[in-house]
Amino acid sequence: MAQSPSSHAAFRKVFDENHDAVHMFCLRRLNVEDANEATADVFLVAWRRVDQIPSDSEALPWLYGVARNVVRNQHRSRNRGARLVARLGSVREAPPEQPEPQIIRRQEEAEVHEALGRLRAQDQELLRLKAWEGLSNDQIGKLLGMSHRAVEGRYARALNKLSKILSTERQVRTSPRLAQEGGEQ
């Protein structure tokens, strides 16, 4: 597919301005190798659909939408592969992937990730889009097909749930009696 010089320049601008943000989006959801591949796939879609990319501030949310689909496809592909390996039976399941050294977080960040994992998938995604990707309620609404007010309400409820989980976990860890009872069982 031949593209005009203006299309090439438009893609280059989108790529230069958004590559790092899209790559970080993928890194927060995949291991390094898969995140690199996913980022490349996102920009392949962008290259093919350069004339459909919204301008300026709406380009990044559009790219996040593409990235969400790419990440979901990678997860589905990995799950299909794991099921195939399990069915074959002759191959043991691979050990769980170890975190890449550059991604290992401080203890507080690990607690947040663990607590986030206890939320519903929709709440997790909403919190990630708002807090990690820095999208506005309007941008999140467009991406997830919800109104601005629905995003506000869901975000507040998800944040409240996350806060309660973190608070409960910290109380359990800091209470000497609870920690001692847990150790005696």
Distances (CA, A) of 2 to 10, 143, 176: 14, 30, 68
- CATH code, residues 1-101: 1.10.1740.10
Q: What pLDDT, on a 0 to 100 scale, did the predictor assign at position 101?
A: 45
| Cβ-contact 158, 126 below 8 angstroms | yes
Q: Does the fold of domain 105-185 match that of domain 1-101?
A: no
* Domain boundaries of the chain, sorted by first residue: 1-101, 105-185
For domain 105-185, give the CATH number.
1.10.10.10
pLDDT in tens, the chain (185 residues): 456 777 889 999 999 999 999 999 999 998 899 999 999 999 999 999 999 999 888 999 999 999 999 999 888 888 776 666 666 555 455 556 655 544 444 566 777 778 888 989 889 888 888 888 888 999 999 988 999 899 999 999 998 998 888 888 777 766 665 555 554 44
